[in-house]
Structure 1
Amino acid sequence: MRGWKVMKRSEVKLEETWDLTPLFDSEVEFEKAIDQVKLESKHITKYKGTINTADSVIEVIGRYEKLMELLVPIGSYANLSLSVDQTNEEAQLRAAKVGQLFSEINAETSFITSELLELDKSALEEAEKNEPNYSNYLQKLIRKKPYQLHPEVEKALAALGTTFDAPYELYDTTKLVDIQFEDFEVNGKSYPLSYNLFEGDWELEPDTAIRRTAFDAFSSKLKAYQHTTAKTYDMHLKIEKTEADLRGFNSIFDSLLFEQEVDQNLYHRQIDIIMKELAPHMRRYAKLLQKVHGLEKMTFADLKISLDPTYEPKISIEESRQYMKDGLSIMGEDYVKMLDRAFDERWIDFAQNNGKSTGAFCDSPYGSHPYILISWTSRMNEVFVLSHELGHAGHFHLANAHQNIFNAEPSLYFIEAPSTMNEMLMANYLLQSSNDARFKRWVISTIIARTYYHNFVTHLLEASYQRKVYEIIDNGGSVNASILNNIKKSVLEEFWGDSVEIIDGAELTWMRQPHYYMGLYPYTYSAGLTIATQVYKRIQSEGQNAVEDWIKVLKTGGTKSPVELAQMAGVDITTDAPLKDTIAFIGSLIDQLEQLTDELDK
């Protein structure tokens, strides 16, 4: 931990921040781009009522493509500026302005989809034949036909886009602006608290008294905002349910899975099998943590601690660059050049400051390079977080370079596979770099605590909770703080059994996750890591051929379904075999941790 002071954005080092000038050099250029996009949008409205031939289909999609390419940097600039400091009023107003702009343009251009779907199929097929680059766009459009509403209704829904996004914005404002944490005290010493300090440091703190006191203080503050946050979430759920009903989907699950191009079987299987078959392995891991740390009881507040906290190395930002290059070098020379660019050109925002979004993410605006947000704590496990986000960056860097804007983004079901693959590659590199038993135990425990716990446990338990919430909404019900707390607590108790005490405050973890405002996103982490684990094992056994297959998959973007993308990489996700094999692999890692711990104890 570099220090306990929570800095203002204006106080952080420039070299630890990202450089947004490749998007726009200045506010003047940003405003010019908005004027240009408004003008282009007006030009497109001239096509209204004229889309009646294959040639006119190609022409209007071409103009729409250009409009989308103009919109992307505007949206990214506004969102990225706000994400590093939610307290910045100028950034708040800019983001609100852009949100309204997007709603207006979506409303103005909604006629394109409506008119295309009113055409005879022969005209669309001829357009596909004459311009294959738009084939994927048209095919995905045709899939939507059964759920397309009257053109005027579609226009109204598009115009209300900002309103529909309001719950997520309200959630973020409550979380990152209104909630201000007081310092907490342990044995007469005072410690500062914030979202990023808790999730980046105190949750991992080896001192049990400090860690548990921080958890209590953090949870106590969350509790004061539980009713507002629950009402905000319920509002979001009602919007999703209303749209699903309007469009004629059988359930809210079908509606949300539609864009992912997977059915409910893949969704439910992921949750059901992990809840049942992974739980025994993770309970063993919890017991091992309890034993090594000499804890009288294992509580929810103890689950994120390191197996060997006195051993975990510290790492600087500059040192992390070499780890990225060495650990991910198997991906090839071009990939390593991209990693250098990410550091040299300041694609990454490392700073810790007040108002910054929690966690980490990667935004990859089409036509520019990716941007990564992370709050650097100098803990060695950050190499896994950074390699994860660089996995997203590498994916879209390749997809954007080889696909048009319509074809670049794959299904949400697949989106976490490239990121978690990088974590596996980094872990393998670290394991190969030393024969020291203690170091090996640290690496394997980090794979469990970071890669698999984060993606297969934290996010999967979110998914299990989320499914129960959507079942209530789908049956016409509503949720409040009490209901959400009870659901979250029951899911945690089901998974951890009597191996972990689900203490007061654990039930409030639903308040911490923005993923709930992104549809059925949480379960996709385990789906992506299932694919990644299987491809990683292929790379271990087959070498370069498997790597080349994987690079091809990354370049393919969203031109194929998740099942097809996995097949390209040599994985069949139409069966439960990859998932069961991945769970067995996790079990084998925990076996190794137990054996290494016994060896070190002796």
Structure 2
Amino acid sequence: MKQVTTRAEVPQEHRWSIEDLFADTAAWNKEYEEVKGSLAKLEPFHGKLNNAETIKQCFVLEDDISLHTERLYVYAHMKHHEDMADPAYQALSEKATKLSVEVSEALSFITPEVLALSEDKLQQLIADPALAAYKRTLEEMLRQKAHILSKQEEALLAQVGNLSQAPSNIFAMLNNADMKFPKVKDENGEEVELTHGRYIQFLESRDRRVRQSAFEAMYGTYRKQKNTIGATLSANITKNLFYAKARKYPSALEMSLFSDNISKEVYTNLIDTIHESLPILHRYLELRKKLLKVDELHMYDLFAPLVEEFKMDITYEQAKQMVEDSLEPLGEEYGKALHQGLDGGWIDVYENEGKRSGAYSWGAYGTHPYVLLNHKDNLNSMFTLAHEMGHALHSFYSDANQDYRNAQYPIFLAEVASTLNEALLMDYMLKKTTDPKAKLYLLTYYADQFRTTVFRQTMFAEFEKITHEKAEQGESLTPQDFSKVYYDLNKEYHGPGMAVDQDIEMEWARIPHFYNSFYVYKYATGFSAATSFAKQILEEGQPAVDRYLGFLKSGGSDYPINILKRAGVDMSTPEPIKQAMSVFKDLVEQMEELTKSM
């Protein structure tokens, strides 16, 4: 096997131009000292935030400190990610983290002090032309005012904060450190220890015995811990109910949707529309059964490869070209910015010794975005490039068109641009591919994204909704209750043609997202919004492109539902989810046609 290169050996054209942020550590240290020094300038504002002029001056200073802290933080961590073993940048990233905490504490007086003003006073400030640039900040403070408690109560809730982390921390320790899984015999009959990381590899095995053994070993292990994990999940739900009640929200679900100003209907629409579309999923599962040539499709067959050995070798240069070609429907303006990103020092391409694994897009306001990759010459890596460049271009447009305060877009919108790029790349490849085997491989790849990102995450979201509602109605939540709700949902989602193994009833016990409650639905809505955008762009052309670019340029300047609605995707209705489902239906029909001729 080829040895992994050291950082020093990586050629310049495959590195990101991190010097665009800071020329060197000396420049970083200079700015660090400046930020430290500027914290003292906050002192005169304490207890004085009661008129437009003072509030404006304070906000301007807050933005200045925050922006420079962000730049310091991003640079230090990105340098650390280039080689995690390098002690100099390990120390720099720790220094940046400590500064970030210090800055947060220094700025923490601003919001409570402004919120202490009367509602009338806040309304006056919102209408004041001197504060026009901060109108959205003040409106958001006014919206939150109803859920902010007295000083003493807030102090008490802050103290409970550490306590509220307990369910999540206990689950993480149990799940990641203490749980030991048995050994599973692999394809060669060798005993291999089952781990979280290897589980999916086993489920993707062509050998059905391996898949079944791993599945049974995984859930057999969780079953032994069901009482402890049931207690931690139940405690997490109790914690959510406590906060919802303390902060005067009608329910835990509405509390979690409040920060993005999203109505409960967006959540329930998603679940209802997906229920209507379950017959299409059942058709896909029927097809899966046929292609795998099995009498019964089991839960451990869902990740098994459907196409005989198939590999696509795609070099990084080819991947770049294909991503550019596939995103041509987004027009010349987007194409120019994309080309600038692909060739302008935004990307750190290949793995090197000590480099952080995975991929991400990141950066600081005022400088171009950056993308970290660990590129391999395969299909997956090409999709990762398209995905991360979607994030990068979203940030690029947002930063160019919004001031610092309004540039940061929320998580609800974050996956739309990245997933849209993948959808357009997939459409391009399907139109170009003539080999039936390659086509089936691509269709399966895409159909499984719908299955795991839309259907599966919606099922998770429904599980959270049901269990929280039971708790709110005073019903008990034993491990048996969790298992029953979870098993019934699996039966409903996977349909009558599927052998829903009893062991799947324990899957709730291994999902870490359930400790970050009501979060997973954003995967499904983001994917649906992106699919809807892609469909409109491919069918309408320029008018849809213009709306989409408007979405990218909006950053976080309004609530996510409003930003999407202006761009032609109204998530307060079932329409975008229905559009995504029509794309999924089309994929299944293409697969059905293909398999007839194979």
Q: Same fold (TM over 0.5)?
A: yes
**Using the alignment, how far apart are the partners of 2:99 and 2:254 within structure 1?**
30
Task: Give the deviation of 1:218 after TM superposition.
Answer: 4.2
Query: How many Å separate the matches in 1 of 2:64 and 2:530?
Result: 34
Partner of residue 582, structure 2: 584
Matches within 5 A, 1:36-435: 40-72=38-70, 106=104, 108-117=106-115, 118=117, 120-127=121-128, 129-154=129-154, 157=157, 164=164, 168=168, 175-176=175-176, 184-186=184-186, 187-191=188-192, 194-199=195-200, 201-220=201-220, 230-274=230-274, 276-315=275-314, 319-331=318-330, 332-337=334-339, 339-340=341-342, 344-347=345-348, 362-363=361-362, 365-367=364-366, 370=369, 380-435=379-434
Normalised TM-score (structure 1):
0.82
User: How big is the shift at 1:435?
Assistant: 3.1
Measured against aligned partners, the alpha-carbon deviations of 1:45-96 in whole angstroms (never above 9, x if no partner) come to 4312111211111111112222322443566678889999999999999999
Contact 2:182–2:194, Cα closer than 8 Å, also in 1 = yes
Range moving further from structure 2, 525-534 or 361-370: 361-370
Report if aligned partners of 2:21, 2:71 keep a CA contact under 8 Å in 1: yes
Identity %, equivalent residues: 24
80 and 522 in structure 1: CA distance in 2 versus 1, 3 angstrom threshold: farther
Task: Find the aligned partners of 2:78 and 2:515 in 1 and give their Cα distance.
Answer: 18
- Name the Cα RMSD after superposition: 4.4
Count residues in correspondence. Answer: 589
Distance 1:33 1:341 in 2: 28
Structure 2 CA distance for partners of 1:576 and 1:170, relative to 1, 3 Å = same
Residue 562 and residue 169 in structure 1: after superposition, are their counterparts in 2 closer, same or farther (change >3 A)?
Answer: same
CA distance in structure 2 between the aligned counterparts of 1:480 and 1:12, rounded to whole angstroms = 55
Q: Which residue pairs with 2:472 in the alignment?
A: 474
Q: Contact (CA 8 Å) 2:551, 2:567: kept in 1 or not?
A: yes
Structure 1: how far apart are the matches of 2:490 and 2:97?
A: 36
Q: Distance in 1 between matches of 2:453 and 2:522?
A: 9
Residue 439 of structure 2: aligned partner: 440
Q: Is the 8 A contact 2:464 2:517 kept in 1?
A: no
Q: Which moved more, 1:541-550 or 1:9-18?
A: 9-18
Alpha-carbon spacing, 1:109–1:149, altered in 2? closer, same or farther (3 Å):
farther
The 3 A distance-change label for structure 1 pair 89 and 33 is same
Distance in 1, matches of 2:15 and 2:464, equals 34
Asked if the contact 1:271/1:464 (under 8 Å) is kept, the reply is yes
**Preserved CA contact (<8 Å) 2:297 2:499:** yes
Once the two structures are superposed, residues 333-378 of structure 1 have per-residue CA deviations (whole angstroms, 9 ceiling, x without a partner) of: 3342354158x55456868999968xx6655554555566777776
* Letter paired with 2:149: L
Structure 2 CA distance for aligned equivalents of residues 162 and 87 of structure 1: 31
Query: 1:454, CA displacement in angstroms?
Result: 2.6
DSSP 3-state at the match of 2:464: helix
Q: Work out whether residues 369 and 397 of structure 1, in 8 Å CA contact, stay in contact via their aligned partners in 2.
A: yes
Q: 1:207 to 1:390 in 2, by over 3 A?
A: farther
Shift of 1:160: 6.6
Residue identity in the other structure for 1:198: Y
Residue aligning to 2:597: 599
CA contact (8 A) 1:410 1:561 kept: no
Checking the alignment, whether the CA contact within 8 Å between 2:204 and 2:304 is kept in structure 1 is yes
Task: Say whether the 8 Å CA contact 2:329–2:537 is kept in structure 1.
Answer: no
Paired with 1:214 and 1:77, the residues of 2 have a C-alpha distance of 42
Q: Aligned to 1:144, what secondary structure does the other structure show?
A: helix
Cα distance between partner residues in 1 of 2:514 and 2:574: 26
Deviation at 1:400, TM superposition (A): 2.8
In 2: Cα distance, 1:233 partner to 1:99 partner: 31
3-state secondary structure, aligned to 1:184: strand
Deviation at 1:496, TM superposition (A): 0.8
- Residue deviations 1:517-567 (CA, integer Å, cap 9, x gap): 444221122222222222212211222332232112111011123332223
Q: Find the aligned partners of 1:12 and 1:471 in 2 and give their Cα distance.
A: 56
SS in 1 for 2:185: strand
Note the 1:489-528 alignment, pairs <5 A: 489-503=487-501, 505-528=503-526
8 Å CA contact retained: 2:84, 2:354: no
**Contact preservation (8 Å) 2:204, 2:211:** yes
- Partner Cα distance (2:415, 2:94) in 1: 29
Q: CA deviation at 1:268?
A: 0.8
Question: Compared with structure 1, are the counterparts of its residues 43 and 365 closer, same or farther at alpha carbon in structure 2 (3 Å cutoff)?
Answer: same
Question: Does the CA contact (< 8 Å) of 1:261 and 1:411 recur in 2?
Answer: no
Classify the secondary structure of the residue corresponding to 2:413.
Answer: coil
Kindly indicate whether the alpha-carbon contact (under 8 Å) linking 1:103 and 1:159 is maintained by their aligned counterparts in 2. Answer: no
Distance 2:23 2:159 in 1: 30
Question: Contact conserved, 2:52 with 2:125, CA < 8 A, in 1?
Answer: yes
Pick aligned residue for 1:567 from 550, 565, 568: 565
TM-score normalised per structure 2:
0.82
1:131 and 1:267 map into 2 onto residues whose CA distance is 34
- Cα distance change, pair 338–279 in 1 and its aligned pair in 2 (3 A): farther
Tell me how far 1:414 sits from its aligned partner: 3.1
Q: Partner residue of 1:542?
A: 540
Are 2:454 and 1:456 equivalent residues in the alignment? Answer: yes
Larger radius of gyration: 2
